[in-house]
């Protein structure tokens, strides 16, 4: 899957950001705007993601991960263990159409269901900025995520 900003922030940005759709945790190094993902924006580092495309071609599930790149805070409950705030933004796009009727009729009859969730967690006793991609992938799967925002919408072409 390729993403490209409509208004890139860096001049000469022509290459899209490509995401691999295999369900494995991966890392991207540049945002669609052309800005490096290694630059912490507002203290948050982004770049880890996993994306899965369904076998029937009717849905795609994306998870994007971020962590607070500022110094970890001390948690009173854990008696001095550093914790790092982490977020997962999940986006699911589902084409609501029969595979048998695909290609028949007007493309404006297609309906896309969009579901988005932002979740939060705290990683305890780890230094996220110094972790390898494989170590952070393990961590993303082990955390207990709490949903803080959910959005559901539908898209119909006019």
Share of the chain above pLDDT 70, in %: 66
Count: domains in the chain: 1
Q: Where are the beta strands (DSSP E) in the chain?
A: 2-3, 17-18, 26-27, 44-53, 59-68, 73-74, 82-95, 111-124, 146-156
pLDDT number for residue 78: 52
pLDDT number for residue 57: 82
pLDDT at 140 > cutoff 60: yes
pLDDT number for residue 61: 92
25 vs 33, higher pLDDT: 25
90, two tokens:
């999940």
CA 11: distance to chain centroid?
A: 25
pLDDT at 100 > cutoff 60: no
Domain containing residue 60: 2-156
23, two tokens:
């369900």
152, two tokens:
């559901």
This prediction's pTM? 0.75
In eight-state DSSP terms, residue 70 is S
87, two tokens:
């977020």
The burial class, CB within 10 Å (0-12 / 13-18 / 19+), for 128 is: buried
Dist. CA 121–CA 144, nearest whole Å: 6
State mean pLDDT over 38-46: 71
């Amino acid at each position: 899957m390729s993403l490209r900003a409509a208004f890139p922030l860096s001049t000469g940005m022509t290459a899209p950001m490509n995401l691999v759709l295999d369900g494995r945790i991966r890392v991207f190094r540049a945002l669609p705007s052309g800005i490096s993902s290694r630059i912490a924006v507002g203290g948050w580092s982004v770049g880890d993601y996993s994306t899965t495309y369904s076998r029937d071609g009717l849905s795609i599930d994306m998870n994007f991960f971020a962590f607070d790149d500022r110094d970890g805070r001390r948690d009173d409950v854990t008696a001095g263990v550093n914790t790092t705030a982490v977020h997962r933004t999940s986006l699911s796009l589902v084409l609501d159409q029969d595979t048998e009727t695909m290609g028949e009729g007007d493309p404006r009859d297609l309906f896309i269901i969009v579901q988005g969730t932002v979740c939060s967690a705290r990683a305890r006793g780890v230094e996220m900025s110094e972790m390898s991609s494989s170590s952070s992938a393990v961590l993303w799967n082990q955390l207990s995520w709490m949903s803080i925002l959910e959005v559901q919408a539908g898209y119909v072409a006019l």
